[in-house]
Amino acid sequence: MGRLLVGVLASGRGSNLQAIIERSLAGKIDVEVAVVVSDVEDAQALERARSAGIPAVHIPPGRFRTKLTPEAEQRYVEVLDEHGVEVVVLAGFMRILHDDFLTRYAGRVVNVHPALLPSFPGLHGQRQALEYGVKWTGATVHFVDAGVDTGPVILQAVVPVMDGDTEETLSARILEQEHRIYPEALQLIAEGRLRVDGRLVTSAGGTDGATKGDAGATGGDGS
């Protein structure tokens, strides 16, 4: 079986990208990052890609604030196709993708979100969790559909909220889990193990979708 070719879209720091690159280079996942594309010219993610010898491309987003113009999106598609990308990995990509893009890569766009969806979608999932006062939050890897953070859930990890947590301390605890479950989810896709039936994602002979973090918290099995 060949390695799964992924294209990573990232707007900023790129720590999830880094986690995926490291697992990939170490041969721990059957995934190869074929190209990294950013809407932000000086995104650290592009630097990380270059340092790893991975093509890094800046494509200006166009005139809109939260989405790509159709012309820009077309350029994204061209670059991803040029690099033979099979799965599009959003890693801190701050632009909304249109239906045309999602139709083209139907069922092949994934994202990581810093909360236990469907709780706290959209921006600042960690801050939303703190402000709500939940005791547990986490990270979610999901397929991307036309909504904001509404697509079928692939994996989740549960993270405790500690007394005295700030957005920074909670974000760091969640990020550790993002870095663990994102490569794991990509490996499930690479192995062709995921089945999607409406909202329900199952994996043949593997994970139950609720992964245990260092905190030992569980989810999804009723405990």
Catalytic residue among 83, 98, 113, 142: 113
**Contact between 173 and ligand GRF per CB under 6 A:** no
CB of 33 to ligand GRF, least distance (A): 13
Characterize the bridge pairing of strands 109-113 and 136-143.
Answer: antiparallel
CB of 105 to ligand GRF, least distance (A): 18
**Contact between 16 and ligand GRF per CB under 6 A:** yes
**Contact between 157 and ligand GRF per CB under 6 A:** no
Residue number with CB closer to ligand GRF (121 or 191): 121
- Name the closest residue to ligand GRF (Cβ): 92
**Contact between 7 and ligand GRF per CB under 6 A:** no
The number of C-alpha atoms within 13 Å of 72 and in the hemisphere containing its C-beta is 21
Residues 6+ apart with CB under 8 A from 53: none
Instruction: Pick the binder of ligand GRF from 12, 60, 62, 107 (CB under 6 A).
Output: 12
**Cα angle at 138 between 135 and 144, to 5 degrees?**
140
Alpha helices in 60-166 (DSSP H): 70-82, 99-104, 125-132
Q: Which two tokens stand for residue 148?
A: 């904001």
User: Is 179 among the residues known to form the active site?
Assistant: no
**Contact between 15 and ligand GRF per CB under 6 A:** yes
Residue identified by tokens 């405990």 is 223
Instruction: Pick the binder of ligand GRF from 4, 6, 7, 14 (CB under 6 A).
Output: 14
Instruction: Pick the binder of ligand GRF from 95, 113, 173, 180 (CB under 6 A).
Output: 113
Q: Can you tell me the distance from the alpha carbon of 188 to that of 207, in angstroms, rounded to the nearest whole number?
A: 9
Enumerate the β-bridge partners of residue 4. 31
